Structure 1
Amino acid sequence: MSTTAYATALAWQEALTSGDIDTLLELSGDGIEIAGDHGGGQGLAVLNAWASESRTTMTPQRVYERGDLVVTESVASGSATPGQATDSRSVAVVFQISGDQVGSVFVHPDLASAFAATGLGDGDFVED
């Protein structure tokens, strides 16, 4: 059964937020790329280690979608590095979806930079 890119990205964020590592890994492609302002990595082992250790949560506020690209404007909480103090901030998360799996996740500091990287814009807003 195929799902929309939108649903896949939201399910991925929900699995991360709830600490459901098994579902997070199932929703991710084997070569998933993860990048943000604190570096990045590739592969399920990297995702597993990061999600297990950082205790990051992402709560989507607004979602934009075009084809296999999804941008969520989200409130991220947690620590980018295990052991660091927890903080909360607004970020824009770019998801590249392939089939029913997330192929890449890139965290941008704001919506404008995510739009610049993807070509998406206000016209791609998804109404609930």
Structure 2
Amino acid sequence: MTTKAQDCLHYQAFAGALARSIVERAPSDGFVIGVQAQWGMGKSSAINLMLEAIRQLEEGVTEGRRLRVRPFNPWLFSGLETLAAAYVSELARVIDETLGDGSEARSAMRSGGGGRTRSPSPRRCLRRSPGCSRTGPPWSPP
């Protein structure tokens, strides 16, 4: 499901509310949102509806002022190191798109912060969050 016209799960209210809160409260330095639910609960559908709602909310906003949303699907990668490398690579790509050349940011990411600080192990960074065993959406569809 990619549009609200196809919304047979009645997720539009949730997706619209999430989109409004993102557009209205987005910090200038960025942030990350994770969507977690059991397999088959409609996470991808909810995300697609949210992305559609964000596009609609930002109609008329100049290109440079629009949010940059980059979906990242960790299920596409096997192994923690591959996942961490893919995430950092995608982050570097977004920085390149946002700031132009981005060679300094890319170089700093490859060297673990430009030699100033040592990056923590991906295993320590990617621990499971409390409450991640939640089974179902935190909202009630109509």
TM-score, normalization: structure 1? 0.23
Higher relative contact order (CA 8 A, sep 6+): 2
Query: Of Structure 1 and Structure 2, which has the larger fraction of its residues in strand?
Result: 1
